[in-house]
């Protein structure tokens, strides 16, 4: 299992770097769209909907929505990002109250609707970041913040994680892990911003303070994304979203944190104007 996990990671990492930092905008949108579409296929399965014909129809509909998002006028982008963030706030309540919130989770159709609210705002957010003039810095910060939070939470949680964060949803997560992940993400985020600071536009104290808030919110939402997918998998009685990635589970298992973190990160950038403060 460990060997398969390492080999899969060695393949995924250069592909991810190529998509995020090398490909032009149209190719970026297409590749990310395909990844999101695979995530949609997994979410359909997690919703409990079965049947090749129904799945095919739903994926065609989802593809049309993605195309519409690609062509979406910029004026509507903040609205979709806001809808995504509001959904994740509601998802936080569902996670906190679980298992008492089982009724709010609803049936197959409701879970399918959750999938739209998980994946579509994330796709719109990634397109927004890619089209930003500081897209390399922003995307690099986003992925390193999430990675750092995950690594920090893992190691700190193993050592000090006695008090569980959401034991009915994901017994492995702890409050200590959350704090550790937050601290590591803040440190990495500050270092990354320092390295990416333009020579002709040094960040002001306000910009640094705003960045701290953005990193903190991004980390909190990334943890929420992980917890919410864990809740949906628990409801369906499965460990992984699929077995597409040997040693890693499915695509949703790799991007669950990203789906929640990206909309709040992008909306924060839009509302604050960071890094051009």
Tell me: the pLDDT tens digits for 63-78? 999 999 999 999 999 9
pLDDT at 72: 93
pLDDT at 196: 87
- What's the whole-model pTM score? 0.95
* DSSP 3-state of 274: coil
The whole-number average pLDDT for the span 34-41 is 97
Given a cut of 70, whether residue 2 has pLDDT beyond it is no
**Within-domain flag for 149:** yes
Given a cut of 90, whether residue 277 has pLDDT beyond it is no
- Give percent helix, percent strand, percent coil of the chain, each to the nearest 5: 80, 5, 20
The whole-number average pLDDT for the span 238-252 is 89
pLDDT at 125: 98
pLDDT at 118: 97
Q: What is the pLDDT of residues 121-145, one digit of tens each?
A: 999 999 999 999 999 999 999 999 9
Decide: 192 and 169 in contact? Cβ < 8 Å. no
**Within-domain flag for 248:** yes
Which of 220, 110, 95 has the alpha carbon at shortest distance from 169? 95
The whole-number average pLDDT for the span 73-101 is 95
pLDDT at 10: 81
**Within-domain flag for 277:** no
The whole-number average pLDDT for the span 155-179 is 93
β-pair partners for 170: 166
Query: 207 falls in which pLDDT band (50, 70, 90)?
Result: very high
Given a cut of 70, whether residue 178 has pLDDT beyond it is yes
pLDDT at 94: 95
Query: Out of 63-77, 171-185, 232-246, which region has the weakest mean confidence (pLDDT)?
Result: 232-246
Long-range CB contacts (< 8 A, 24+ apart) of 1-5? 1/247, 2/247, 3/247, 4/246, 4/247, 5/246, 5/247, 5/248
Given a cut of 90, whether residue 20 has pLDDT beyond it is yes
Given a cut of 70, whether residue 1 has pLDDT beyond it is no
- The share of the chain scoring above pLDDT 90, in percent, equals 79
Number of domains in the chain: 1
Residue 8's domain comprises: 2-272
Given a cut of 80, whether residue 172 has pLDDT beyond it is yes
**Within-domain flag for 209:** yes
Given a cut of 70, whether residue 116 has pLDDT beyond it is yes
Q: Which two tokens stand for residue 113?
A: 């609707």
Q: What is the pLDDT of residues 46-60, one digit of tens each?
A: 998 888 999 999 999
């Amino acid at each position: 299992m460990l060997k398969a996990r390492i080999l899969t990671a060695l393949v995924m990492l250069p592909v991810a770097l190529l998509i995020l930092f090398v490909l032009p905008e149209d190719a970026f949108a297409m590749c990310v769209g395909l990844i999101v579409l695979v995530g949609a296929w997994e979410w359909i399965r997690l919703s409990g909907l079965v049947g090749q014909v129904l799945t095919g129809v739903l994926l065609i509909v989802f593809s049309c929505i993605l195309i519409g998002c690609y062509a979406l006028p910029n004026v509507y982008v903040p609205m979709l990002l806001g809808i995504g963030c509001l959904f994740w706030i509601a998802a936080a309540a569902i996670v906190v109250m679980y298992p008492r919130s089982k009724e709010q989770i609803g049936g197959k159709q409701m879970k399918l609707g959750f999938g739209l609210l998980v994946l579509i705002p994330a796709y719109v957010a990634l397109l927004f970041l890619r089209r930003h003039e500081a897209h390399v810095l922003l995307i690099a910060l986003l992925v390193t913040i999430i990675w750092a939070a995950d690594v920090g939470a893992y190691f700190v949680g193993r050592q000090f994680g006695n008090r569980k964060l959401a034991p009915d949803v994901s017994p492995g997560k702890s409050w200590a892990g959350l704090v550790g992940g937050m601290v590591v993400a803040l440190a990495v985020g500050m270092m990354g911003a320092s390295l990416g600071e333009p020579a002709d536009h040094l960040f002001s104290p306000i910009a640094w303070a705003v960045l701290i808030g953005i990193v903190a919110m991004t980390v909190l939402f990334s943890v929420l994304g992980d917890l919410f997918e864990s809740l949906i998998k628990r409801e369906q009685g499965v460990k992984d979203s699929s077995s597409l990635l040997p040693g890693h589970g499915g695509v949703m298992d790799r991007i669950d944190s990203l789906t929640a973190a990206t909309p709040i990160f992008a909306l924060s950038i839009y509302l604050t104007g960071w890094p051009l403060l």
